[in-house]
């Protein structure tokens, strides 16, 4: 069995460096000036960016995540200098940390954090789609719905714009298919649904969200699959019909953090496009395929998310889609 040193200890590392975040040292790193530390940079026809982080970038990412979690828990005080650096180095920047910081600002429900962010935005007269969406989000009212044993929360702004409370910031490491496949899974109250399986294929899925923005993740295990037949599971025709020329599949090299993914072959695919039947809905699909040559098994993770034009984050959907694009890299085989 292949070892997976980096990923096995990922969550342990996250908590071990939380103390560093509480020491008020700025987590702003050199990744924000350059991405030359990244192992590989990929191009996308969908105006998304992706690079495979090396361990230094990943450590910086986890440091920032811990620092922001500590801020959300009122465990650290962010200086004016640090808050200004966060906005200058992260917001709108094509870096993994930039996507993370923006996701945190959409995630936090801490009114102290929200008010501090709003104060900075107003004092510096920042008018962008992102800051305007934050103003609306922070002013929205939570509406609680009970669906069976599930409690669903939607944020409502003047009955005109909505947020479906999808968390794309905090996460946990999970193992699937009897510990064979691992990933970083966002903390949501997921609904689990079964998918009919047949022959050498096992499938199940997760779903969360509401009418203006929902997300699904489907996991598939393809057993007894010869390496030369890997491409037969890509469903190229299905995705091409959905996204046309915007559907792209790339084989990526096992470099950077992917050198410890435990996979012999790695493919990622993605596409963005407008819903054919409802032109005010935008869709994004993001897939990763990990092949284990020794047991002739391919593991597949499919992310799907859509946005309605009445969702608060509709104008920022490209950045959110880009975050999911990076999420493909946080999967591994045990």
Cα torsion angle, 195, 324, 168, 180, sign: positive
The answer to whether residues 262 and 331 touch, using CB atoms and an 8 Å cutoff, is no
- The answer to whether residue 248 scores a pLDDT higher than 60 is yes
Distance CA(281)–CA(273), nearest Å, equals 9
Beta bridge partners of 152: 145
Three-state SS at 212 = coil
Cα torsion angle, 260, 263, 267, 268, sign: negative
The answer to whether residues 186 and 169 touch, using CB atoms and an 8 Å cutoff, is yes
- Residue 60's nearest CA partner among 38, 91, 29, 25 is 29
CATH architecture of residue range(s) 171-333 = 3-Layer(aba) Sandwich (3.40)
**19: Cα separation from own chain's centroid:** 24
Domain ranges of the chain: 8-139, 171-333
- The answer to whether residue 13 scores a pLDDT higher than 80 is no
What DSSP element (H or E) covers 55?
Answer: helix 55-72
Confidence of residue 26 (pLDDT cuts 50, 70, 90): low
Please compute the mean of the pLDDT values over residues 108-133 and round it to a whole number: 98
The pLDDT, as a whole number, for residue 45 is 80
The pLDDT, as a whole number, for residue 39 is 61
Encoded tokens for 100: 């993370």
Confidence of residue 180 (pLDDT cuts 50, 70, 90): very high
**11: Cα separation from own chain's centroid:** 16
The answer to whether residues 164 and 106 touch, using CB atoms and an 8 Å cutoff, is no
Contact residues for 116 (Cβ-Cβ < 8 A; gap 6+) = 78, 83
């Amino acid at each position: 069995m292949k070892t997976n040193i980096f990923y096995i200890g990922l969550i342990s590392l996250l908590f071990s460096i939380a103390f560093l975040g509480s020491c008020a040292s700025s987590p702003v790193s050199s990744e924000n000036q350059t991405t030359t530390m990244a192992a590989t940079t990929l191009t996308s026809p969908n105006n998304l960016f992706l690079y495979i982080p090396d361990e230094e970038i990943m450590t910086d990412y986890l440091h920032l995540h811990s620092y922001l979690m500590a801020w959300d828990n009122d465990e650290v005080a962010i200086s004016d200098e640090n808050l200004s650096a966060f906005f200058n180095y992260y917001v709108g920047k094509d870096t993994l940390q930039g996507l993370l910081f923006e996701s945190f600002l959409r995630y936090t429900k801490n009114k102290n954090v929200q008010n501090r962010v709003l104060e900075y935005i107003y004092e510096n007269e920042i008018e962008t789609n992102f800051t305007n969406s934050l103003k609306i989000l922070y002013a929205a009212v939570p509406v609680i719905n009970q669906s069976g044993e599930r409690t669903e929360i939607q944020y409502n702004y003047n009955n005109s714009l909505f947020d479906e409370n999808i968390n794309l910031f905090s996460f946990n490491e999970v193992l699937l298919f009897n510990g064979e496949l691992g990933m970083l899974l966002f903390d949501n109250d997921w609904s689990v649904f079964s998918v009919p399986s047949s022959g050498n294929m096992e499938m199940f899925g997760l779903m969360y969200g509401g009418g203006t923005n929902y997300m699904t993740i489907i996991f598939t295990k393809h057993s007894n699959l010869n390496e030369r037949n890997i491409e037969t599971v890509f469903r190229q025709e299905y995705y091409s019909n959905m996204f046309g020329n915007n559907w792209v599949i790339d084989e990526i090299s096992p470099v950077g953090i992917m050198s410890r993914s435990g996979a012999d072959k790695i493919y990622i695919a993605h596409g963005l496009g407008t819903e054919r039947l409802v032109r005010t809905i935008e869709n994004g699909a993001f897939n990763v395929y990990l092949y284990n040559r020794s047991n002739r098994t391919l593991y597949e993770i499919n992310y799907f998310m859509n946005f309605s034009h009445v969702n608060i984050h509709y104008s920022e959907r490209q950045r959110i889609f880009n975050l999911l694009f990076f999420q493909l890299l946080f999967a591994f085989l045990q």
